[in-house]
């Protein structure tokens, strides 16, 4: 119990941070928070041991990509007067969601992977699907995979609690909460985990996944005491979500990692270490302090919808160096990388031929056989090189011009985003116990 309390409490503390001046220059409606770790420092080589607890993740498409960080920030910036991310829902190329299979009280089920929320839930068999106005529509409209056929393994919470969450794109999920065993990676079982069986949803599904697995912090769980239709802040209670419970039960060290494959359709998720992926350059690794980005001005972000954020040293491109410091969110659900406008423009001009801005997409396009510049992101003094093949999306062709979309987009007033185009070139370690983000290069040659 003490471990749970400590693990939860450290997330609310603010640590000294070397880039405090950068965090003070947050865009309107953004708050940055720097958590303080609870575990003693270990060498990166020790932390980066291969974990036996790993599982495949696979990309899924749906009617919306608006759960991606770019989409959420777009809605947010339009409300608070920022600029950028204006038209990110034009095409589903901007967001690939990832799913993984878990065993829920003995039943295999596919859940979306979400590092930006904390609640884990699955859809009940007799759930109600509603439209944006709250009116009932056929279940097929919500486009879930198979519903969970049973009830809670250990019964409902006492006193009764329900989950209510409104995601950044306006989707709503609610239902009773109880306790069940969740098994991941084949043999890692989190016992008596507090979860939700959703019975009322406004959802844009993919016909594959049946719920969501949240990997963020206890401070942004969404449980409420009382009737399901009442969810005022006074009735909200914090609880121990999946990853916190996994750590407190001694099932994992307080870290997980994600390796996105180059084709963006699959990857590996590992608990307590790194997955056994090939081609890691262990001589090129970097560790930086973790920052939590909260959107504070709009209810659609569930008050503290959080994202994992870093502040890199800068960028190298086309034999030039930019060392201006900005926060960047690391997000596997966003395909492109969103940079400060001046930097996005400069890198796109370095393509041969130069990329041009197309207003219809709010993105840059160039010849599909263009030569990309050499681009590296510098983190803690280490350079993480982008594969040139990741800088042009040849399956995203504008039908009028015949041009292909580049992977570098303008992020307006920020915060900025490191999406799949970056994550395909690095193993990303979410080291919650030490309040750090860690990266290991994955060379492409």
Which residue numbers are catalytic? 114, 331
d(CA 315, CA 321): 6
Contact 158, 133 (CB under 8 A): no
d(CA 337, CA 343): 11
Contact 203, 212 (CB under 8 A): no
Contact 274, 430 (CB under 8 A): no
Strand partners, 408: 337
d(CA 77, CA 72): 9
User: 169 burial class (0-12, 13-18, 19+ CB within 10 angstroms)?
Assistant: middle
* 153 three-class SS: coil
**Residue burial 194-224, b: 16+ Cβ < 10 Å; e: rest:** bbbbbbbbbbbbbebbbbbbbbbbbbbbbbb
Rounded to the nearest 10°, the torsion over CA 407, 55, 10, 15 is -30
Quickly count helices (H) and strands (E) in the chain: 7, 31
Phi and psi at 442, nearest 5°, equal: -120, 90
**Alpha-carbon distances of 406 from 389, 417, 428, rounded to whole Å:** 10, 15, 22
Phi and psi at 391, nearest 5°, equal: -95, -5
Contact 161, 223 (CB under 8 A): yes
| Cis ω before 415 (30° cut-off from 0) | yes
Contact 367, 405 (CB under 8 A): no
């Amino acid at each position: 119990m003490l471990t749970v309390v400590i693990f939860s409490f450290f997330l609310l503390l603010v640590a000294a941070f070397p880039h405090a001046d950068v965090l003070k220059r947050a865009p309107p409606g953004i708050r940055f928070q720097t958590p303080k770790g609870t575990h003693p420092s270990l060498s990166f080589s020790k932390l980066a041991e291969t974990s036996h607890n790993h599982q495949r993740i696979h990309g899924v498409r749906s009617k919306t990509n608006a759960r991606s960080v770019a989409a959420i920030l777009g809605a947010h910036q339009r409300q608070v007067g920022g600029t950028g991310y204006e038209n990110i829902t034009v095409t589903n190329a901007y967001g690939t969601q990832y799913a993984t299979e878990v065993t829920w009280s003995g039943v295999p089920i596919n859940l979306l992977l979400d590092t930006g929320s904390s609640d884990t839930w699955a859809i009940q068999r007799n759930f109600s699907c509603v439209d944006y106005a709250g009116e009932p529509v056929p279940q097929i409209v919500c486009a879930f995979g198979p519903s969970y056929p049973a009830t809670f393994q250990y019964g409902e919470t006492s006193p009764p609690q329900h989950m209510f969450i409104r995601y950044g794109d306006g989707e709503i999920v609610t239902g009773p909460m109880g306790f069940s065993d969740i098994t991941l990676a084949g043999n890692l079982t989190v016992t008596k985990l507090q979860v939700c069986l959703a019975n009322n949803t406004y959802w844009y599904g993919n016909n594959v996944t049946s719920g969501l697995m949240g990997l963020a912090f206890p401070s942004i769980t969404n449980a409420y005491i009382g009737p399901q239709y009442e969810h005022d802040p006074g009735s909200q209670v914090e609880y121990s979500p999946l990853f916190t419970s996994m750590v407190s039960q001694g099932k994992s060290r307080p870290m997980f990692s994600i390796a996105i494959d180059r084709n963006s359709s699959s990857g590996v998720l590992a608990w307590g270490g790194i997955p056994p992926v090939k081609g890691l350059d262990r001589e090129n690794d970097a560790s930086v302090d973790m920052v939590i980005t909260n959107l504070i001005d709009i209810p659609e972000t569930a008050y503290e919808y959080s994202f994992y954020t870093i502040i890199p040293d800068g960028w190298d491109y086309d034999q030039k160096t930019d060392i201006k410091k900005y926060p960047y969110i690391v997000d596997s659900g966003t395909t492109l990388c969103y940079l400060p406008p001046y930097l996005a423009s400069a890198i796109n001009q370095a393509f041969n031929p130069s990329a041009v801005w197309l207003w219809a997409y709010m993105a840059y396009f160039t010849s599909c056989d263009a030569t990309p510049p050499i681009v590296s992101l510098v983190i803690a003094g280490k350079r993480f090189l982008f594969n040139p093949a990741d800088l042009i999306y040849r399956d995203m062709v504008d039908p009028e011009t015949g041009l292909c979309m580049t992977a570098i987009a303008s992020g307006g007033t920020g915060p900025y985003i490191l999406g799949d185009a970056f994550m395909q070139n690095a193993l990303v370690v979410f080291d919650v116990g030490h309040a750090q983000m860690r990266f290991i290069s994955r060379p492409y040659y």
